[in-house]
Chain A
Amino acid sequence: MKTAAPNTILARTLIILLMVITLLPFLSMLSAALAPQGSYPNGLQWPADPQWGNFARAFEVAKMDQLLWSSTLIVLGVVPLAVLMATMAGYGLAKLTSNRYKWLYLLFVFGLTLPFEAVITPLYYEVRAIGLLNTRFAIILPLIGLYMPFGVYWMRAHFLNVPHDLTEAAQLDGATRWKEFWLVQVPLARPAIMSLTILLFLWTWNQFLLPVVLVQDPMQRTMAGALGAFQGQWGTDIPLLCAGSLLILTPTVLIFLIFQRQFVAALMQGAVKG
């Protein structure tokens, strides 16, 4: 029989430890979510009589179906447009910009350094001035803008790595810039576009700050944003709160499981390209 090297054993032990640490809060939430209504669960303690009905009740009181729909609308409003614009801008900055205008790219890099929290107050007044406060557009439009620095940076990094010969070959084959972009560059950028789409999806879905500040009605928010309202309303009913939180988490986890491979690739891509 093969015996594992001490290093391997140590590595595995550490990984298992890390897994336990990561999963413990979720397990604790699950056990709490299954506790009888109105009780105060005591940490990690499997209830004698698991109340699976708590989930159904949480689904109902949080109007989870409406929240799902609202989140979906916001994601559909943000992600396709943000990805399209980032792809076009990334291509432009990587392939069409002469040396004189290279500094334009630095504007986007500067944007990367700005935290959402820093712009939230001016954003509030802006959105109010436009008259979009308390609508989903108050989340969609600012998010598209706020994702641009990262999206453009990401796509530009991809396009920089596409050999210039392909552009020239397409030009000689008779392609205009526009056709070259759609027929050659975009299909080649598919992995980068996929990764960006997944990342923007997750960030939008989990967006908390913008919805809470800019939209009053929880039903117009993202699921994560609605969690804030849910907590305020049901903060004393711990089992219900835990069940609701777990339900809100579920779509993200499902998406992660479905696109696991692309998701890891996305993170790796970032790691290599820096």
Chain B
Amino acid sequence: MAGLTLRSVYKNYGEVPVIRGVDLDIAHGEFVVFVGPSGCGKSTLLRMIAGLEDITDGDITIGDRLVNDVEPRDRGVAMVFQSYALYPHMSVYDNVGFGLKLAGTPKAVRDKKIRDAAKVLQMEHLLDRRPAQLSGGQRQRVAIGRAIVRQPDVFLFDEPLSNLDAALRVDMRMELARLHHDLGATMIYVTHDQVEAMTLADKIVVLNGGIIQQVGSPLDLYNRPANLFVAGFIGSPKMNLLAGKVQSIDGALASVSIPGAQAPLMVSAAGLTSGHAVTLGIRPHALAIAPDGQLTGTVLLVEQLGNETVVRLALTDGSEVTAALAGQGDLAPGKSVSLTFAPTDCHVFDENGGNVAL
């Protein structure tokens, strides 16, 4: 078992830069999730750690060993692919045991390890089957089993749940969390699903355009997004972002005018200067209905989820705001609604998109 460090890691495909200077420390036993939109370089970064992609510049260290030029098989990593990548011509038993067989593990030891892994993953009854005879979830289990029998230093998961249906995804997510807890191994997980990222990670790495946007615990990222990208990416429904201008500062509060509201909005003044253009970020869950709320608009769309109601409304200037309101409201499209929020719940970003409070 080992930690992992990335130092100034770059990757170019010809002239096109894909990873642009990544520095990252992953402690032993940590569950790290790389998250970001399609094409942000998260899978490439994972594959560089696995050794399946060369690195253009920089250093990757696993444990105390520089692995830049080490073959994938000698890096002490195991990977679970999005496509599962099971060997179609082998039984589940042989699939799981393939790595051990190649390593020359004695048959008795191999058999025990395979059966132990099967027990952990509750797939003992599947050992004689071929991959083609398994469902998506079962195949995923086999792929994970193949990884765990080898007892690698680092587990790598490349969007392992994206081919599963929603219900199964939730189950497998919990199983992965349990597995991480039981094995205590270092795990790196790539996903574009922020719910997976929030629920599984000790540490989330948000990537965009080959650059790390922010590294932190899930709640860190949710409560203190470093920039507009992270603010918009983490949290569902997405954070509302409203462009405005700082009017005046009065002690701990600043008043910010936005085109969609009649009166200026009051937000925390930390880091603000009068006259500067800013972007306000308010999470849909931070909004609540109040008779004299700061934001007034007309309801466009209502989504009843049972435990909450998601409302989309248009402000006076036509800009749109989403609110997630507790319970089951009797809102209908066309109705006028007034919303309020606490000044501390409002994130303020400067002209460059950085969070002024950080």
A residues near B (Cβ < 8 Å) are 163, 165-166, 168-176, 179, 183-184, 187-188, 190
Contacts and interface: CB of A to CB of B under 8 A. Distances in A.
Given A163-B85, A187-B89, A174 B102 contact: yes
A171 B87 contact: no
Nearest to B98: A173
A183 B94 CA distance: 11
Nearest to B86: A169
Contact of B79 (A169, A174, A179, A190): A169
B141 interface: no
A187 B87 CA distance: 10
A175 B87 contact: no
Contacts of B85: 163, 165-166, 168-169
B136 interface: no
A171 B99 CA distance: 9
A166 B87 contact: yes
Given A166-B87, A184-B87, A188-B88, A175 B81 contact: no
A12 B78 CA distance: 58
Nearest to A175: B102
Instruction: Identify which of A166, A168, A175 gathers the most chain B CB atoms within 10 Å of its CB.
Output: A168
Contacts of B77: 172
Interface residues of B, number: 21
Given A169-B146, A171-B73, 20 more contacts: A163-B83, A163-B85, A165-B83, A168-B52, A168-B79, A168-B81, A169-B79, A169-B81, A169-B85, A171-B52, A172-B50, A172-B99, A173-B146, A174-B73, A174-B99, A174-B102, A175-B73, A176-B73, A183-B102, A188-B89
A196 to B, nearest CB: 18
Contacts of A179: 102
Interface of B: 50, 52, 71-73, 77-79, 81, 83, 85-89, 98-99, 102-103, 146, 150
Contact of B103 (A169, A174, A183, A184): A174
A173 B150 contact: yes
Nearest to A179: B102
B113 to A, nearest CB: 14
A188 B130 CA distance: 13
B78 to A, nearest CB: 6
Contacts of B99: 172-174
29 contacts: A163-B83, A163-B85, A165-B83, A166-B87, A168-B85, A169-B81, A169-B146, A170-B98, A171-B52, A171-B72, A171-B73, A172-B50, A172-B52, A172-B72, A172-B73, A172-B77, A172-B99, A173-B98, A173-B150, A174-B99, A174-B103, A175-B73, A175-B102, A176-B73, A183-B102, A184-B87, A187-B89, A188-B87, A188-B88
A59 B262 CA distance: 107
A168 B72 contact: yes
Nearest to A187: B89
Contacts of A188: 87-89
Nearest to A167: B85
Contacts of B73: 171-176
Nearest to A166: B85
Contacts of B87: 166, 169-170, 184, 188
B340 to A, nearest CB: 51
Contacts of B83: 163, 165
A169 B52 CA distance: 10
A174 B81 CA distance: 16
Instruction: Identify which of A163, A166, A169 gathers the most chain B CB atoms within 10 Å of its CB.
Output: A169
Of all A-B residue pairs in the complex, the 6 with the closest CB atoms, nearest first, are A165-B85, A173-B99, A169-B85, A174-B102, A174-B73, A187-B89
Contacts of A187: 89
A251 B165 CA distance: 53
B11 to A, nearest CB: 17
Contacts of B150: 173-174
Contacts of B71: 171
Contacts of B98: 170, 173, 183
Contacts of A166: 85, 87
A163 B83 CA distance: 9
A167 to B, nearest CB: 9
A168 B87 CA distance: 11
A167 B89 CA distance: 14
A190 to B, nearest CB: 8
A86 to B, nearest CB: 20
A183 B87 CA distance: 10
B89 A172 contact: no
A151 B156 CA distance: 38
B208 to A, nearest CB: 26
